[in-house]
Structure 1
Amino acid sequence: MSSSKPSTPRVAVVTGTSSGIGAAVVKHFCEQGHQVLAVDFNPAGKEIAEAAGAAFYQADLTDADACRGAIAEAVKRFGGVDILVNNAGIQHVASIETFPEEKWRQIIDLMLTAPFLLTQAAWPYMREKGWGRVVNIASIHAQVASPGKAAYVSAKHGMIGLTKTAALEGGEQGITANAICPAYVKTPLVDNQIADQAKLNNMDEQEVIEKIMLKNAAVKRLIEPSEVAELVAYLTSDAAGAVTGASWNIDLGWTAH
């Protein structure tokens, strides 16, 4: 895998960019010379995007029109869309018995419906050019489940199905689709989960890290966002043209058991 600058700069849309994986991907793409539209609900993402050299579009991606608006903004600014990275996500930890319906719907809308709508809106521009890359940031929870995460696990499992279908439909059109499945990454989302898991499991926060987050890991550390961004860079490169429909685990050895 190489993170060198691509021979052809592309137009990339990245969602969930105000911190963590999304911010790292935006930074990496800008360093590669891509034109990037960073999309996030949080207005603080504007400063982060512009510091990296990207344009910013504020949107609530649980709204269908906002999803289509994000792609339209990239087309208006840059003339098309070549790369789509579906990364935006939230988390809520509760048992199935107590899980709020509104949280279920919000998570599914943001983490499964929005990636579908964004892919659908970007597809004609990729097809017209005969070149496109869709990368869905799933999770190791797209492969396995954990208690207290019914909506998150369901959305991420669904994202794998969406990825495979997009790969089959896009193959003859020069469009690839792949998913990345990280274990726990050093992000604000994970930081928030530590407190939630501590409450759910009656543990202190250090116990959550050791006994839940890293219990099944062979490599006993959290993953850096930049490590995920490097894999995104490869999967969106010309070198990865034969790679599609795959789920790439960055899981510290979690699923080697």
Structure 2
Amino acid sequence: MTETAEPNVAVDYPEVRAIVAGGSSGIGYASAAKLAALGTRHFALMSRDKGRIEAARDRLLNEFPEATVEAIAFDAVDPKSVEDSIDHAATALGRVDVLVNSISAPATPELLFRTPIEAIPDMLIQQGVPPMLLTRAVLPYMRERQSGSIINIASDAAKAATPGETVLGGAMAAIVMFSRAAALEAKRDGIRVNVVTPSLLSGTPTTARATKEGFSKKLFEKAAALAALGVANAEDQAEIVAFLAGPASVRLTGQAISVNGGISAF
């Protein structure tokens, strides 16, 4: 925590130092790869699983050999683990310009009356708490520099009441409102906080599970039929993440942006 910058100045991609939580696969890894393609060279990738995040580090280095990548395994719902891991990442990077929060727990849509009541508290914690802890942990580093971009990943379940996504929708709505309030607080320190809210994604293990059978299969088949522009994938989400991380979005904060191929409009 030694470097300083002018307030409200977004760092261009080649100078960005980025933490990507949930960087082992999906939107997280795609976002890191997109930033690397735009010239970013300094990353800390974080995930719950040590083996997977080290494999992701190796994959990113294979694609971009000139990059430096720190791989950090952590418990995304444990405050001390989150704080220690952000401290580790910030020390390794020298500073933090961008934080992407793409931590998520597997969740298959199901009607509420079929959801075990004892599972609900843990579902809310696993889905909703990680972006809040990570955002809070990184703020001191960004406040010191009077600059930074935080991008939280939620889902369109935050915006549209959808059967089968009662608990998930509650957690996603919490992330969106948390991010909007954090944006209003952090703007005084030159920090932007935005949310990307994807809907159905193609090519992910979560979607493969959800479209296999049962209620969720019917739900996502209907959603796919509405995506007249095509069902979005992780790379589509990474495009908007990269935009929010870069200088072109320097005046944009407190927004929840959907890239969903036309499934819905908000």
Determine if the TM-score, normalized by the shorter chain, exceeds 0.5. Answer: yes
Give TM-score scaled by structure 1 length: 0.87
Question: Structure 2: any 5+ residue segments left out of the alignment?
Answer: 1-10, 62-68
Asked if 2 retains the 8 angstrom alpha-carbon contact of 1:64 and 1:114, the reply is: no
**1:218 is aligned to 2:234:** no
Q: Percent identity?
A: 26
SS in 1 for 2:57: helix
In structure 2, the residue matched to 1:49 is 57
- 1:50 maps to amino acid: D
In structure 2, the residue matched to 1:18 is 24
- 1:72 maps to amino acid: D
Measured on the aligned residues, the alpha-carbon RMSD in Å equals 2.1
User: What CA deviation, in whole Å up to 9, does each residue of 1:201-251 have, x standing for no partner?
Assistant: 6xxx5x6653x33143332x3212111111111101122110011111112
Counterpart Cα distance in 2 of 1:61 and 1:103: 18
Asked if 2 retains the 8 angstrom alpha-carbon contact of 1:138 and 1:160, the reply is: yes
100 and 81 in structure 1: CA distance in 2 versus 1, 3 angstrom threshold: farther
Question: Structure 1: any 5+ residue segments left out of the alignment?
Answer: none
In structure 1, the residue matched to 2:237 is 228
Give TM-score scaled by structure 2 length: 0.84
User: What CA deviation, in whole Å up to 9, does each residue of 1:68-116 have, x standing for no partner?
Assistant: 1221111221123221111111214332223234543333223322211
Counterpart Cα distance in 2 of 1:248 and 1:34: 26
236 and 170 in structure 1: CA distance in 2 versus 1, 3 angstrom threshold: same
Aligned-pair distance for 1:38? 1.0
In structure 2, the residue matched to 1:247 is 256
47 and 216 in structure 1: CA distance in 2 versus 1, 3 angstrom threshold: same
In structure 2, the residue matched to 1:35 is 42
Asked if 2 retains the 8 angstrom alpha-carbon contact of 1:145 and 1:153, the reply is: yes
Aligned-pair distance for 1:129? 0.4
- 2:97 maps to amino acid: D
Asked if 1 retains the 8 angstrom alpha-carbon contact of 2:143 and 2:189, the reply is: yes
User: What CA deviation, in whole Å up to 9, does each residue of 1:10-56 have, x standing for no partner?
Assistant: 22111222221111012122332241111111222211223213221
Counterpart Cα distance in 2 of 1:38 and 1:145: 33
SS in 2 for 1:182: coil
22 and 199 in structure 1: CA distance in 2 versus 1, 3 angstrom threshold: same
Equivalent residue pairs, number: 245
Counterpart Cα distance in 2 of 1:213 and 1:188: 17
SS in 2 for 1:185: coil
In structure 2, the residue matched to 1:73 is 88
- 1:245 maps to amino acid: G
